[in-house]
Amino acid sequence: MHEALSYLLHLGYATFLALAALLPIVNPIASAALFLALTQGQPPLVQQTLSRKIAVNSATPKAVSASFISAMNRVGPQR
């Protein structure tokens, strides 16, 4: 139980660091404005579909990276 909790804490910490590092690069406020400008005039169903695909495609690499970083921190250097 303690090991699982420790793993979740490491995963949360790695996720926080990854998001904090990527937030200035991704700039979600400007991205939202750009998305709206590029999809202007499209039916709402097209906008919803595209926004879901974009969300999944951008969240997946972040989640994988956070898991990998957490696993690497958990293993630590070999002595």
Average pLDDT per consecutive 10 residues, the chain (79 residues; last block may be shorter): 82 83 77 88 94 84 78 67
pLDDT at 32: 84
pLDDT at 79: 54
pLDDT at 76: 60
Residue ranges making up the domain that contains 40: 2-75
* Number of domains comprising the chain: 1
Residue appearing with tokens 């997946």? 60
* Contact assessment for residue 14 and residue 66, using Cβ atoms and an 8 Å cutoff: yes
State the pTM of this model: 0.52
Kindly give the interhelix angle for 44-75 and 28-38, rounded to the nearest 10 degrees: 150
CB atoms within 10 A of CB 15: 17
